Each structure stands twice: as structure tokens, then as C-alpha cells.
């Protein structure tokens, strides 16, 4: 693990995340994130966008993709109700020889390395935790570790954003935090063509008929104002395909199609709700 010394204190850094996240379509959203992070003069500062939308629409994937587009290391921090200020900055741990060592969070590691920090589901954190990052999100661009007794300054290339589910806020954030998390970039469900491309990218082993089934299901759900996302559709298709593969019996194309339709209904009921399965049932009835 890489180590650095800050104000005489040795910090062990967290490694950046290397994950197979693929952003598909809606390039305008990528442009908006990159514009927020841009610095256009010596006196300018990067903004700290918050990506808002329903669960499963790709907020974290968008942030990760934008960070990688800058060829910078990306560090993901999962926020929870129990996140403490020291979790966001520096945590003391006991080393093998019984001495205390200080471990930098993914946020602080990104600050030091000039990377991208993505705080996922940030509206699950309390104001106390967010307050510890307030100096980082204005012209000061530093954080203070009470535990280690040091002040840590951000690298000029450091960038920050947070994702927030629009239905999962546990804490109401005060205005001084919201004013620092700007601009707000809203991510909605994609159009049909883009949604199908997302499914095809994530399900390269699925045949075209299955992709059509799932995208028809998602589009019908969107029209009915349901909260089902492409992530839900991907999980439904994966489970249905596993059920089909599990049977190992020889089938005609017609029998396979009928069996797959049944498994889609089963998957939707198990992964979402029994009510969700009716969208697949209606699609099957229309075909018949």
C-alpha cells in the first residue's frame, strides 16, 4: 500500500477503484459533469456536482465514466447512515506491531493523488459528516483530521461529486452543504433506443428476442410511472437466462420462447414484486 507523509504524519492511502462500469448513451450528461469539473482560469475553482435520480439509472456509472474520461484515478466512497467524519478523512488502526497507523479514506486518497472522489448515496450521511468536508468544497480546498492532528490540502487536479437517490434521503442537508454541491444534474430513465443499448452492453450473451422483451417491459413500466430501472431489467434477464440454462433439456425454438416468457414473469416477481410481473404477462398476452 502506498504511503505519504503529511505534516510529519504517515498516511496509508487507499487504492483507486477499477470496476467494469460502462456508461452508454446520454453523452450530454457526461459533458455536463466534465464542464462542472473544468477550471477556466487561475482564479477559478472546480464545482462539485451532485447527480440526482431514481435508483438504478446509472448515477455512479456516470460519475465513474466521467472520471475515467479525464484519465484520472477514481475513488468510490459508499455513504451510509453510520458514516462518521473520521470515516471520510483519516481512520486510526492498530498495526501488526501494536502501533497506531493512520489510513486515509478514499476521499482523502483522491485529494492527495489528484484523483476523482465519488461519494455514493451522499444523502444518507448526516450533517455532521458533511460538515467535515465543507472546507474541501470551497476556496480552502482542505480537510482537517482531528484524529491525526493534521490539515490535508487537495491536489489541484482533485475533483469531487456525489450521487443522491431522489427517494432515499435519510437526512435533510442544510443549505450551506447544498450550496457547495452544485450543479444538480438530473438523470432520468433513458429513451427506448438508449435503454436497449444499455441492456445489450450489459447482456452480450442474451439473444435479441430477450432484449426486446426486457426493453418492452421497462418502457411500459416507465409509462406507468413505475420506478423500475435498467438495472432491474438486467437482473431479471440474467436470472431468467440462468433458469433456462439450468433446465438443460432439448427444446424447440417455440418451447424455448414459451419457457423464457415464463421465467421472465417469475424473475420479475422475485426480483421486484408480483405486480411487476403483470407487465410481462401483458406483453405475452399481446403476442398471443
12-48 per-position pLDDT tens digit: 999 999 988 888 888 999 999 999 999 998 889 999 9
The number of beta carbons lying within 10 Å of the beta carbon of residue 126 is 16
pLDDT (average), residues 61-72? 95
Residue where one domain finishes, among candidates 159, 187, 215: 187
Q: What is the pLDDT of residues 237-260, one digit of tens each?
A: 999 999 888 876 676 677 777 788
Q: What was the pLDDT predicted at 99?
A: 85
pTM: 0.86
**Quick check: 238 and 270 in contact, CB under 8 A?**
no
Q: What is the DSSP string of 83-132?
A: --HHHHSEEEEE-TTS-EEEEE-HHHHHHHHT-EEEEETGGGS-HHHHHT
Q: What was the pLDDT predicted at 213?
A: 85
CATH number for the domain spanning 158: value is 3.40.50.300
| Backbone φ, ψ for residue 135 (5° rounding) | -65, -25
What three-state secondary structure class fits 6? strand
Using alpha carbons, select from 223, 100, 122, 103 the residue that is nearest to residue 170: 122
Residue where one domain finishes, among candidates 187, 214, 245: 187
As a whole number of angstroms, the distance between CA 16 and CA 110 comes to 8
Residue where one domain finishes, among candidates 154, 187, 220: 187
Residues 47 and 168 grouped into a single domain? yes
Q: What is the pLDDT of residues 226-237, one digit of tens each?
A: 889 999 999 999
Residues 232 and 149 grouped into a single domain? no
Burial of 253 (0-12, 13-18, 19+ CB in 10 A): exposed
What three-state secondary structure class fits 37? helix
| pLDDT: which is higher, 261 or 132 | 132
Q: What was the pLDDT predicted at 67?
A: 95
Residue numbers of the domain that contains 124: 3-187
Residues 104 and 7 grouped into a single domain? yes
**Quick check: 165 and 123 in contact, CB under 8 A?**
yes
Say if residue 4's pLDDT is above 90: yes
Residues 164 and 228 grouped into a single domain? no
**Quick check: 134 and 125 in contact, CB under 8 A?**
no
Residues 117 and 149 grouped into a single domain? yes
How many Cα atoms sit within 13 Å of 255 on the Cβ side? 7
**Quick check: 17 and 75 in contact, CB under 8 A?**
yes
Residues 29 and 158 grouped into a single domain? yes
Strand order in the sheet with 90-94: 3-6, 9-12, 100-104, 90-94
Q: What was the pLDDT predicted at 64?
A: 96
Q: How many domains does the chain have?
A: 2
Which residues is 51 bridged to in the sheet?
163, 185
Residues 82 and 127 grouped into a single domain? yes
| pLDDT: which is higher, 263 or 254 | 263
CA-based Rg of the chain, rounded to a whole angstrom? 23
Q: What was the pLDDT predicted at 277?
A: 86
Say if residue 155's pLDDT is above 90: yes
Q: Which segments of the chain does DSSP mark as H helices, in order? A: 27-37, 59-69, 85-88, 106-113, 127-131, 175-178, 192-202, 208-223, 230-247, 253-271, 274-287
As a whole number of angstroms, the distance between CA 281 and CA 265 comes to 7
**Quick check: 5 and 11 in contact, CB under 8 A?**
yes
Q: What is the DSSP letter of 76?
A: E
Cell digits for 119? 461519494
Amino acid at each position: 500500500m502506498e504511503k505519504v507523509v503529511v505534516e510529519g504524519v504517515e498516511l496509508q492511502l487507499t487504492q483507486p477503484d477499477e470496476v467494469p462500469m460502462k456508461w452508454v448513451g446520454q453523452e450530454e450528461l457526461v459533458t455536463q459533469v466534465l464542464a462542472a469539473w473544468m477550471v477556466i482560469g487561475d482564479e477559478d475553482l472546480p464545482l462539485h456536482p451532485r447527480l440526482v435520480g431514481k435508483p438504478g439509472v446509472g448515477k455512479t456509472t456516470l460519475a465513474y465514466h466521467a472520471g475515467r474520461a479525464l484519465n484520472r484515478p477514481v475513488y468510490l466512497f459508499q455513504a451510509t447512515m453510520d458514516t462518521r467524519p473520521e470515516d471520510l478523512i483519516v481512520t486510526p488502526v492498530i498495526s501488526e506491531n501494536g502501533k497506531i497507523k493512520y489510513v486515509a479514506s478514499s476521499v482523502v486518497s483522491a485529494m492527495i493523488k489528484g484523483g476523482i472522489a465519488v461519494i455514493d448515496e451522499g444523502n444518507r450521511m448526516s450533517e455532521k459528516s458533511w460538515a467535515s468536508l465543507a472546507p474541501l468544497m470551497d476556496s480552502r480546498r482542505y480537510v482537517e483530521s482531528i484524529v491525526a492532528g493534521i490539515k490535508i490540502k487537495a491536489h489541484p487536479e482533485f475533483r469531487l461529486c456525489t450521487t443522491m437517490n431522489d427517494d432515499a434521503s435519510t437526512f435533510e442537508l442544510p443549505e450551506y452543504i447544498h450550496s457547495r454541491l452544485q450543479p444538480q444534474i438530473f438523470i432520468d430513465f433513458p429513451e427506448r433506443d438508449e435503454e436497449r443499448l444499455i441492456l445489450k452492453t450489459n447482456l452480450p450473451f442474451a439473444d435479441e428476442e430477450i432484449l426486446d422483451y426486457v426493453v418492452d417491459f421497462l418502457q411500459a413500466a416507465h409509462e406507468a410511472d413505475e420506478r423500475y430501472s435498467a438495472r432491474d431489467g438486467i437482473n431479471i434477464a440474467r436470472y431468467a437466462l440462468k433458469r433456462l440454462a439450468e433446465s438443460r433439456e432439448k427444446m424447440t425454438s417455440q418451447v424455448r420462447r414459451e419457457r423464457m416468457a415464463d421465467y421472465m414473469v417469475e424473475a420479475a416477481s422475485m426480483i421486484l414484486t408480483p405486480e411487476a410481473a403483470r407487465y410481462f404477462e401483458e406483453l405475452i398476452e399481446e403476442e398471443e
